[in-house]
Amino acid sequence: MVCKYCGREVKTVSGKLWSSVGGNVCQASDNKKHLLASNSSMACKFCGRTVKCVSGKLWASVGGNVCQASDNKKHELA
């Protein structure tokens, strides 16, 4: 997975996107958070977890429909 703003490889750690350089802080982003670059996978663009649609909401296997990395606490597709 790649951050949309800084282009670094990121991975999910405790529900947030982290890079090997800078941790969970993205210097290129206005809100200092990494955001997944658009792709065709079913991954949340804020936390990077794989999500699926359940009853009209995006759910992850960990945390359900609550995304700790998103400002509105909802998963969104990249």
What pLDDT score does 14 carry?
87
Which positions ≥6 away from 42 have C-beta within 8 Å?
50, 51, 52, 77
List the one residue out of 32, 36, 52, 46 whose CA is nearest residue 1: 36
Render each residue's pLDDT in the chain as its tens digit; 78 residues: 889 889 899 998 988 899 998 899 999 999 999 998 876 578 899 998 989 988 878 999 888 999 999 999 999 987
| Residue-level pLDDT at 65 | 93
In sequence order, the 6+-apart residues with CB closer than 8 A to the CB of 27 are: 6
Angstrom distances, CA of residue 32 to CA of 11, 57, 71:
16, 26, 12
- pLDDT in the model for residue 40: 55
